[in-house]
Chains A and B, each alone.
Chain A
Amino acid sequence: EVQLVESGGGLVQPGGSLRVSCAVSGFTFSTYAMSWVRQAPGKGLEWVSGISGSGGSTYYAESVKGRFTISRDNSKHTLYLQMNSLRAEDTALYYCARGLATPIWGQGTMVTVSS
């Protein structure tokens, strides 16, 4: 069974850092591009970042460029999002998703940025 399980969310102060993870199973992880998508409370979907299957190419939304870093460990079947210089507007449920247009999503991990 294909599964994506996010973890690592929590409460962090403005300016702080957090790393969220997405553990995958049930498919050949290294052959798929992956994405992070977030959803602020009561708001729409926002694509945040993407990475190629090898990890050699990374992409970011303008809103997070220079503050967030996406990475993957194909040997551990895990996707990461390192978030630095966090702002209140980064508060959201963070989903990982397989591929570009995909039926495969995790359940999300909540990140709250507040003092």
Chain B
Amino acid sequence: DIQMTQSPSTLSASVGDRVTITCRASQSINTWLAWYQQKPGKAPKLLIHRASSLESGVPSRFSGSGSGTEFTLTISSLRPDDFATYYCQQYDSYPLSFGGGTKMEIK
């Protein structure tokens, strides 16, 4: 089974900051990686699929990169609405798996 490790688990940042979250897979998943944003009491929202493809309607300040085992989600300039929890997910093979999450907090 593929294990997904996200870092950091918590990130304190300010509006306007550029931030990066890292996700590592225990084996190669090519580019079969998605990023989600989740706010309290809401279902996850898909931001990026295939490691770097922005989902329709998602602001361009979000970007993803990587392949194989190392991936990053970058937010170029944090907005107040971006303070949430972010998860990576591999869908290269079953069982599918999520990273542990990164909680973005206001500094």
Which residues of A pack against B, CB within 8 Å? 35, 37, 44-47, 50, 59-62, 95, 100-103, 105-108
Contact = CB atoms under 8 A, between A and B. Distances in A.
Q: Which 5 A-B pairs have the closest CB atoms?
A: A101-B34, A59-B94, A100-B91, A105-B43, A103-B46
A46 B33 CA distance: 15
A106 B32 CA distance: 23
B85 to A, nearest CB: 8
Contacts of A107: 43
B43 A108 contact: yes
Contact of A62 (B95, B100, B101): B95
Contacts of A102: 46
Interface of B: 1, 32-34, 36, 38, 43-46, 49-50, 55, 85, 87, 89, 91, 94-101
A106 B43 CA distance: 7
Contact of B89 (A60, A95, A101, A105): A101
A67 to B, nearest CB: 15
A45 B95 CA distance: 14
A61 B85 CA distance: 23
